Amino acid sequence: MKKTPFRLTPYQVQWLLIVGFVTIGYALYLRYLAIEFSTVALACDAGLQTTICKARLVATGLFKNSVFGGTALVIAILHVMRPSIVLLTGGLIAAGLGIVLYNIVLSGLAIGLLILGFARPAPATA
């Protein structure tokens, strides 16, 4: 039985484009309008309890501990071992957030591994 390479359908490519743009857009919003924007940062540090301050607190805690990059790397390794659209989507989300939110090294390595997942055959289906 010959395995065919892992290939995406046009609908899966469109899905990944939508997920990628939404992820990068939200990460840019968090970075430039919540984390680095001095007015919001000062208000949140003074004790303001809004949704953007809570999102800022969560995102800051996650990127300080390299959660985005680590998660992206683990998912990318799983994707190289057994490629699937679910792992590719999860890896794209984690790596996109990690690239924009300061986890560049691990997320960049994860993106390379996600691309490498296309060079491997897809798992055989029964």
DSSP-assigned beta bridge partners for residue 5: 121
Res 13 pLDDT > 60: yes
Residue found under tokens 């919003």: 29
Percent of the chain with pLDDT over 90: 78
Token pair of 14 as six digits: 């469109």
Domain ranges of the chain: 10-119
0.95 exceeded by pTM: no
Coil, strand or helix at 5: strand
**From residue 45, how far is each of 20, 29, 51, 63, 66 by CA, in Å?**
31, 18, 14, 18, 22
The token pair at 111 is 């993106």
Smallest CA-to-CA distance from 96 within 117, 76, 119 is with 76
What are the tens digits of pLDDT across the range 72-123? 999 999 999 888 999 999 999 999 999 999 899 999 999 999 998 888 655 6
